Amino acid sequence: MAKIQAIRGTKDILPDELQYWEFIHNKISNLLECANYQEIRTPIFESSDLYDRGIGKHTDIVNKEMYRFHDRSNRDITLRPEGTAGIVRAFIENKMSYHQNLQRLWYSGPMFRYERPQNGRQRQFHQLGIEFIGSLDARADSEVIHLAISIFNSLNLTDLKLDINSIGKIEDRSIYQAKLQDYLQQYYDDLDPDSKKRLINNPIRILDSKNTNTQRILSEAPKISNFLSLESQKHFDAVCNYLKLLDISYNINNNLVRGLDYYNDTAFEIKTLTSKGQDTVCGGGRYDNLIEQLGGIETPAVGCAIGLERLLLLAKEKIELPNKYIDFYIATQGEKANEAGMKIMNVLHQQLFKIEIDVSTSNFGKQIKQANKKGAIACIIIGNKEVEQGLVSIKWMSTQQQESMTIMQFEHSISYLKKKILFYKSINSY
Ligand code: ATP
Ligand code: MG
């Protein structure tokens, strides 16, 4: 029969790999806890309207990349391509601002985009994002950027470049957009096909075209920085000033625009300087109009999202995972011994020891080899001799020391066993 395979662009995360995911998850969630950000979880699918209205109809994501379908009741549904729109919907729907006007939130989970799979680009991928809702202050932008950078630094990733830009308010942008359109129109024939298409619907996106010819044309194009209102300019200067204060180096990139319509003023990206493939590991910015646009009360906000697959590609080689271990491996031989072993297993399990029971019929030599392989601190051995005398033997693996006790004694020795396990853990640095 034909094998069933995972869908193109999706990946299994197997147990060994998952250890790295857990490692970074713990690191990041501790860090966010310290910054007093709270985790939020929203559904993986939403009404497609949310993305049409939130991300924007003329963006690549909505046009080409969404997993969009009709469910059995003919609802138009989309698997979330990003996290912010869903959080804003939840914020409005649950009247979150009613309880607290500033919300510092974070999320992590799978996102879905129909893109050409390659290294660091999947159709189901994971993002971890932070959102600071409710403040217009430049300190909010800087806090979000600072947090993103410190997430990377906490994983020993320092070869990074922070690009930042102000894309102004929507009004500034529409004036700029018209100027840019006029300018590019003169070079229409020389533009790459993608940029030709964008010229009508989304000309600003042409700014981050990778096509060298288009880039050459753009070098003389009007710059967004010349179209910013005084307020936007002041805000941008303040953000840059705080970044300097925080010792975060940045590069002002006037061609940095983001692929989603909802941003205004601050836009930023963090790139790695070391990867050959997909180098953008974090993207974000301010979105002061999104909440109102989705039916809420006008509320400013700023946030960003980190691509976890790309983060892991970089972080993995710097992560030293702790050695794998278990507290007790239970080795038995013979039916009566198997029964005693099951009882011991139950006692240890209730006391929350990390244990594994050998369910093979191999000889003790082989079972003890297994115990070593699993990194067992101790092996509990019950054979015919032990059964006859009602005993259990405990072999402490690193010293080969062995001791015996009756089953009764064993059950009353839990605190002794806990201390011994702790001792062996400390000398073996588990
Ligand atoms: P790119 O330019 O790489 O397509 P983007 O601008 O579409 O990125 P955002 O929407 O800003 O990406 O998402 C934030 C981060 O999520 C990206 O910087 C990247 O690290 C990650 N990301 C985006 N799309 C994918 C994908 N298809 N597979 C893996 N990671 C992704
Ligand atoms: Mg993309």
pLDDT at 210: 87
In the predicted structure, residue 71 carries a pLDDT above the cut 80: yes
Q: Identify the band that residue 35 occupies on the pLDDT scale cut at 50, 70 and 90.
A: very high
User: Where along the chain do the CATH 3.30.930.10 domains lie?
Assistant: 15-169+229-318
Query: Ligand 2 mean position to 121 CA, how many Å?
Result: 9
Cβ–ligand 1 contact at 310 (below 6 Å): yes
339-360 pLDDT per residue, tens: 999 999 999 999 999 999 999 9
The pLDDT > 90 percentage for the chain reads: 87
- Atom 3 of ligand 1, nearest CA residue: 280
Tell me how crowded residue 22 is: count the other CB atoms within 10 A of its CB.
10
pLDDT at 122: 97
Q: Which ligand is nearest to the CA of 118?
A: 1
Half-sphere exposure of 290 (CA within 13 A, CB side): 31
pLDDT at 430: 63
Multiple choice CATH, 15-169+229-318, 3.30.930.10, 2.40.110.20, 3.40.630.10, 3.40.50.12780: 3.30.930.10
Q: Which ligand is nearest to the CA of 280?
A: 1
Cβ–ligand 1 contact at 129 (below 6 Å): no
223-278 pLDDT per residue, tens: 999 999 999 999 999 999 999 999 999 999 999 988 788 899 999 999 999 877 78
Once rounded to an integer, what is the mean pLDDT over residues 297-308?
97
Atom of ligand 1 nearest to the CA of 127: 16
Largest CA distance in the chain: 96
Q: Which ligand is nearest to the CA of 284?
A: 1
Amino acid at 379: C
Our mutation pick for probing the ligand 1 site, out of 84, 114, 125, counting the most ligand atoms within 8 A of Cβ, is 125
User: Where along the chain do the CATH 3.40.50.800 domains lie?
Assistant: 326-422
Query: Ligand 2 mean position to 27 CA, how many Å?
Result: 26
397-419 pLDDT per residue, tens: 999 999 999 999 999 999 999 99
pLDDT at 332: 97
Distance CA 47, CA 20 (A): 33
Query: Ligand 2 mean position to 60 CA, how many Å?
Result: 8
Query: Ligand 1 mean position to 81 CA, how many Å?
Result: 10
Tell me how crowded residue 257 is: count the other CB atoms within 10 A of its CB.
21
- Atom 8 of ligand 1, nearest CA residue: 280
Cβ–ligand 1 contact at 180 (below 6 Å): no
322-342 pLDDT per residue, tens: 889 999 999 999 999 999 999
Amino acid at 238: A
Q: Identify the band that residue 57 occupies on the pLDDT scale cut at 50, 70 and 90.
A: confident
Backbone Cα Rg of the chain:
29
Which residue ranges are tagged as binding site for L-histidine?
A: 82-84, 113, 127, 131, 258, 262-263
CA distances from residue 243 to 8, 139, 140, 156 in whole angstroms, order as listed: 41, 9, 11, 20
CB neighbours of 191 closer than 8 A, spacing ≥ 6? 184, 199, 206, 211, 213, 214, 217
Contact 414, 349 (CB under 8 A): no
Cβ–ligand 1 contact at 145 (below 6 Å): no
Q: Which ligand is nearest to the CA of 80?
A: 1
Multiple choice CATH, 326-422, 3.40.50.10330, 3.40.630.10, 3.40.50.300, 3.40.50.800: 3.40.50.800
278-291 pLDDT per residue, tens: 899 999 999 999 99
Mean pLDDT for all residues in the chain: 95
Half-sphere exposure of 324 (CA within 13 A, CB side): 10
Query: Ligand 2 mean position to 115 CA, how many Å?
Result: 8
Cβ–ligand 1 contact at 282 (below 6 Å): yes
Q: Identify the band that residue 429 occupies on the pLDDT scale cut at 50, 70 and 90.
A: low
Length of the chain: 430
